[in-house]
């Protein structure tokens, strides 16, 4: 792309990448990326992924660590009633599990997607490790008069600023 093109967070993470090569996500994949973030001074805050991976993380955490029972429910005793994982206490702290409609599995024959592990809270000398920054705050600009009509442009220019790319990570090519 062009020098001024914005490609998004996924393409800005270039250092801490674990390639799954089409293999389904495992909790060990996430902890590997998180360990790399913690080693360089960051603290994982969130896992951002497709809804397919949100479901997978819920299944992994619930099947690995929890078994729910309903007293007196007979044959339905071990069926969880709408349980989903939205926070996970990982070996490196509590992280939010966030589903994103912008991360969609693509490709054939097996669709793959990326899973992002981000630290948006750690504060460095020049701001948060990752943050949105206003290049031009919300403002109004009067334009030239056109056939006695007043025109005003209202705009705000905001960009994603990543000041600590080493504090971010991703598991790429996650399969079904």
pLDDT per position as a tens digit, 68-111:
555 555 555 555 556 678 898 899 989 999 998 888 888 877 88
What is the rounded average pLDDT of the residues 2-18? 72
With cut-offs at 50, 70 and 90, classify the pLDDT of residue 4: very low
What is the rounded average pLDDT of the residues 153-175? 87
Q: Does residue 169 contact residue 120 with C-beta atoms inside 8 Å?
A: no
Q: Is the pLDDT of residue 171 over 90?
A: yes
Task: Give the pLDDT confidence score for residue 5 in this predicted structure.
Answer: 47
Task: Give the pLDDT confidence score for residue 149 in this predicted structure.
Answer: 83
Of 95, 164, 92, the closest CA to residue 127 belongs to 164
Of 7, 32, 6, 1, the closest CA to residue 172 belongs to 32
Q: Is the pLDDT of residue 45 over 60?
A: yes
What is the rounded average pLDDT of the residues 33-59? 92
Task: Give the pLDDT confidence score for residue 109 in this predicted structure.
Answer: 78
Q: Which residue has the higher pLDDT, 83 or 128?
A: 128
- Residue 98 phi/psi, 5° resolution? -120, 120
Task: Give the pLDDT confidence score for residue 101 in this predicted structure.
Answer: 87
Task: Give the pLDDT confidence score for residue 64 in this predicted structure.
Answer: 67
Quote the percentage of the chain above a pLDDT of 90. Answer: 31
Q: Does residue 25 contact residue 51 with C-beta atoms inside 8 Å?
A: no
**Burial class, 150, CB count within 10 angstroms (exposed 0-12 / middle 13-18 / buried 19+):** exposed
Mean pLDDT (the chain, rounded): 82
């Amino acid at each position: 792309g062009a020098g001024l093109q914005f490609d998004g967070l996924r393409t800005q993470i270039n250092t801490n990448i674990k390639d799954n090569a089409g293999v389904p996500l495992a909790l060990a994949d996430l902890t590997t990326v998180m360990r790399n973030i913690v080693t360089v001074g960051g603290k994982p805050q969130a896992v951002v992924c497709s809804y397919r991976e949100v479901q997978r993380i819920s299944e992994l955490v619930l099947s690995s660590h929890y078994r729910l029972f309903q007293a007196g429910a007979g044959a339905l005793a071990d069926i969880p009633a709408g349980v989903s994982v939205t926070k996970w206490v990982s070996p490196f702290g509590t992280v939010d599990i966030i589903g994103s409609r912008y991360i969609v599995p693509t490709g054939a024959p097996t669709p793959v997607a990326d899973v992002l592990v981000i630290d948006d809270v750690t504060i460095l000398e020049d701001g948060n490790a990752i943050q949105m920054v206003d290049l031009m705050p919300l403002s109004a600009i009067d334009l030239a008069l056109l056939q006695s009509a007043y025109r005003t442009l209202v705009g705000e220019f905001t960009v994603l600023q990543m000041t600590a790319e080493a504090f971010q990570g991703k598991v790429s090519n996650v399969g079904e």
